[in-house]
Amino acid sequence: MGIGHRLTAPFRQTSGFARWILLSGMIIVGIFVVLALFAPWIAPYGFAQTSYAGGADFPKATGPGGEHLLGTTSFGFYDVLSRVIWGSRTAVEVVLISVVLSLLIGAPLGLVSGYLGGWLDRILVLVMDALYAFPSLLLAIVFSFLLSDFFGGGVVAAGVALTVIYVPQYFRVVRNTTVSAREATYVEAARAIGASKRTIMTKYLFGNVIQSVPVIGTLNAADAIGTLAALGFLGLGVQPNEAAEWGYDLQRALPDASAGIWWTGVFPGLAIVLLVTGLTLVGEGLNETVNPTLRKRRLRPFTLPPRGAAAFQAGKGQVDL
Amino acid sequence: MASAGGSLPRYIAQRLLLIIPMVFLLTTIVFLLLRVAPGDPVSASLGGRLSEDALDQRRASLGLDRPLIVQYLEYLKDVATFNFGETITDNRAIIDIVQENGGATLTLAVSAFIVALVVGLPLGMIAGRMRDTGPDLVIRIFGVITYAAPVFYWGLLFQLLFAGALGWLPVSGAASPETIFEVEPVTHILLLDAVIAGNSEAIVDILEHLLMPAATLGLLLSGIFIRLVRVNVIQSLQGDYIEAARARGIRESRVIRSHAFRNALVPVVTVIGLQVALLLSGAILTEATFNWPGIGNELVQYINNRDYAAVQGIITLFAVVVVLVSILIDIVNALIDPRVRY
């Protein structure tokens, strides 16, 4: 049983529907990751480019086709396709920063708080609960409003602003599993042989407590895409001169709606929907395999042993799963 | 209810007491974030427009020249007395913003909730009942997409279709200028005011303006209702009491309706309470999309003007509302489901 075998375990344990969900989600996310990685080579123009290499300006708000496959915008005269492709790079970067940072902060805090308990635990739980109860968009608004004064409107600032939203989620999950795992026999055994608190937390609890994190991570990533776009839509978050951002492009497309210019808004929005859907599908697919209440595993048909006592005693009843 | 009568008041009292630390914590976080940050709010929002003397005067009148701890205590005292302060840029009391713009936000939220219930509950039940079949797949994809598409994208698509291409509905705003001019503000809820005035033309106009924003925000919520109701129906269908009901020979349709669906709806009420935060976030974005004159739209404008005092006041207000509503839902929950109040 190699590591590859373990990694694909949730995939193999799923049956038709859940497997289909997981697979289609992975394909969609994969496409966007490729777009993000190779944006400079895939995109026909730069994200802030408004003129051809020859020096002539792009035409204003032309429809899809010809030189500009998805048309050009009515503000700044950008190429829509290029902005959509560069936007996936921004989205992937911001989401990676926020999910990784919040995991790095939230999970250890939850572990320590859950294992040590006491007043530290109480205070942390209270603060995290308060943060969790707060509408996440408002939290992101406040943070990016502040951070824009320090860090400017770059990808890092947006990623950090989103981190705050997700820390409480990892904290809660890891803390709660730690609290229930703390009294488990194997932890007690570790204590009995004199393992230090630090060893118990890192060597014994960590691996067992971290199981549900991939599901939360993917769902948070999906949520982060939406929140980043929402910040951009409100004029916060990643600023237009720093990188291409789908939410900002949507905001600039609003006045076009009544003028019948549909391509400026439809395509960046479609990118958001696709990426969020892909991530949600991955999360849902993982959840169906991790969450026992939803799980429908592939089990071999179950036949009760025949009524004759002899057959049963002979151990010929087919009760193996 | 009578059997557990003793514990219910205690439970309610406990929940009500919890308001204090929750509000205290949230307001402290907001204050720390917005006030302790370097740079001062007055020059951020008014710098360059007023002379240095005038700026100093504004700082003094807002109490920004005093030590932070004094400002903090003052702020807590204000929040406790429902005084959320004044804006810097245009000297409006936050409470006035609530009075003038709160009606629009409330109208939007309530109508969106109705849309979500009407769309989400039946679809969620069908999907749960017909798990892993064609209808389930279609409904789940619908649920995922409503959840995946940001509200402002739905809004934009609706605008393109119904206002741009078809020209059926007005593109944005809460009413046409004539309606706003004609209808006397009594309750500051435009629709109610028009009904009070008996102005049928105005009512139609307002409803036409309301349709797109309500559908936009409603769709967002309906996606969540679908997911939630579906999972609950699936789980309650696996319950022993369903098996027992079937064993007693009760018709399948009746088992589904009065045994499974009923029990599946109780947890939904709990989670609806948690959706208040989402409703609020969604309302801000919907208002920004449709230029809807609600509190969220005001917040966005104050953010763009870098008005710290306004942002702080409105965010504090939202925090208080979220805490109050979630505790209210807890209490309602305890009334419905005796298991909640052990």
CATH number at residue B99: 1.10.3720.10
CA distances from B239 to B236, B244, B255 (A): 5, 9, 12
**B3 secondary structure, DSSP code:** G
Indicate which of B160, B171, B275 best probes the interface with A, i.e. most A CBs within 10 Å of its own CB. B160
Helical residues (DSSP H) of chain A, grouped into ranges: 3-7, 9-13, 16-37, 39-42, 80-116, 118-133, 136-151, 155-182, 185-192, 197-199, 206-209, 213-233, 246-253, 263-290, 309-313
The closest alpha carbon to B156, from A318, A257, A24, belongs to A257
Residues 204-263 of B with CB under 8 A from A: 231, 234-235
Confidence band, pLDDT 50/70/90 cuts, at residue A320: very low
Structural contact between residues B185 and B80, judged by C-beta atoms closer than 8 angstroms: no
Q: Is the domain of B229 the same as that of B289?
A: yes
Residue in B with minimal Cα distance to A268: B153
Q: Assess contact for B323 and B205: CB atoms under 8 A.
A: no
Distances from the Cα of A35 to the Cαs of A27, A66, B203, B303, in angstroms? 12, 21, 49, 33
Work out the minimum CA distance from B242 to partner chain A, whole angstroms. Answer: 16
Asked if residues B85 and B78 have their Cβ atoms less than 8 Å apart, the reply is yes
CA distance A135 to chain B (A): 4
Query: In this complex, do A234 and B300 lie within 8 Å of one another by their Cβ atoms?
Result: yes
Q: Which chain B residues contact residue A234 at CB under 8 A?
A: 284-285, 288, 300, 303
Supply the pLDDT for residue B37. Answer: 59
Task: Give the range of the structural domain holding residue B104, as residue numbers without chain letter.
Answer: 94-304
CATH of A2-320, one of 1.10.230.10, 1.10.10.2840, 3.40.50.1970, 1.10.3720.10: 1.10.3720.10
Please tell me whether residue A208 adopts helix, strand or coil conformation. helix
Q: Which residues of A touch B109 (CB under 8 A)?
A: none
Closest CB to B148: pick one of A257, A260, A276.
A276
For B318, which of A138, A233, A250 is closest by C-beta distance? A138
Q: The tokens 């018709």 sit on which residue?
A: B251
Q: What is the distance, to the nearest Å, from the Cα of residue A258 to the centroid of all Cα atoms in its chain?
A: 34
pLDDT range class, residue A101, cuts 50, 70, 90:
very high
A315 pLDDT more than 50: no
Same domain, B128 and B235: yes
Residues B181 and B234 in one domain: yes
Question: Do B183 and B239 have their domain in common?
Answer: yes
- Of A11, A103, A88, which Cα lies nearest the Cα of A267? A88
Summarised one tens digit per residue, pLDDT across range B108-155 is 988 998 898 898 888 888 888 888 788 888 888 888 788 788 889 988
The pLDDT value recorded for residue B321 is 83
Mean pLDDT of chain A: 78
Residues A114-162 pLDDT 10s: 888 888 888 888 888 777 777 888 888 888 877 776 676 678 888 888 8
Residues 307-326 of B with CB under 8 A from A: 311, 315, 318-319, 322-323, 326
Q: Which of A258, A274, A276 to mutate to test the interface with B (most CBs of B within 10 A)?
A: A258
Query: In chain A, what residues touch B300 (CB-CB under 8 Å)?
Result: 234-235
Please answer yes or no on whether A257 and B147 come within 8 Å at the CB atom. Answer: no
Instruction: Please calculate the CA angle B268-B273-B278 and round it to the nearest 5 degrees.
Output: 105
What pLDDT does A310 receive? Answer: 47
C-alpha to C-alpha distance for B286 and B159, rounded to whole angstroms: 12
pLDDT score of A9: 62
Between CA B171 and CA B153 the distance in angstroms is 14
Contacts of B237 in chain A (CB under 8 A): none
At residue A290, the pLDDT reads: 66
Which residues have C-beta within 8 Å of that of residue B284, sequence separation ≥ 6?
A137, A138, A234, B296, B297, B299, B300
Using the predicted structure, report yes or no on whether residue A179 has a pLDDT greater than 80.
yes
Contact criterion met (CB < 8 Å) for A133 and B160: no
**Residue A307: per-residue pLDDT:** 57
Alpha-carbon distance B157 to A273, whole Å? 12
Give residues 17 to 56 of B whose Cβ lies within 8 Å of A: 21-22, 25-26, 29-30, 33-34, 37, 39, 44
| B26 vs A130, A137, A234: nearest CB | A130
Q: For residue B39, give both structure tokens.
A: 């740079």
B9 and B99 fall within a common domain: no
Mutation for A interface: B145, B147, B156, most A CBs within 10 A: B156
Q: What is the pLDDT of residue A275?
A: 92
| Pairs of residues, one from chain A and one from chain B, whose beta carbons lie less than 8 Å apart | 142
Nearest CA in chain A to B169: A258
In a shared domain, residues B128 and B268: yes
- Which residues are within 8 A (CB) of B33 and not within 5 positions of it... i.e. 6 or more apart? A142, A143, A146
What's the predicted TM-score (pTM) here? 0.79
Task: Read off the pLDDT of each residue in A36-58 and give the average, rounded to a whole number.
Answer: 76
DSSP summary character for residue A152:
-
Task: Give mean pLDDT, residues A79-96.
Answer: 87
B148 lies in the same domain as B45: no
Same domain, B148 and B294: yes
Are B62 and B50 part of one and the same domain?
A: yes
**For chain A, what percent of residues have pLDDT higher than 90?**
7
**Domains in chain B, number:** 2
What is the C-alpha to C-alpha distance for residues B94 and B211, in angstroms, rounded to an integer?
A: 28
In terms of domains, do B134 and B282 share one? Answer: yes
Nearest to B155 by CA among B220, B206, B208, B68: B220
Q: What number is the average pLDDT over the span A40-61?
A: 73
Q: Name the one residue in this structure whose structure tokens are 């499974």.
A: B260
Identify whether the C-beta of residue B207 lies closer than 8 Å to the C-beta of residue B220. no
Residue ranges of chain B with per-residue pLDDT less than 50: 1-5
The full set of domain ranges for chain A reads 2-320
Give A60-68's long-range contacts (Cβ < 8 A, gap of 24+). A61/A256, A61/A261, A61/A264, A63/A263, A64/A263, A68/A44
* Phi, psi torsion values for B306, nearest 5 degrees: 50, 45
User: What type of residue sits at position A318?
Assistant: Q
pLDDT at A314: 43
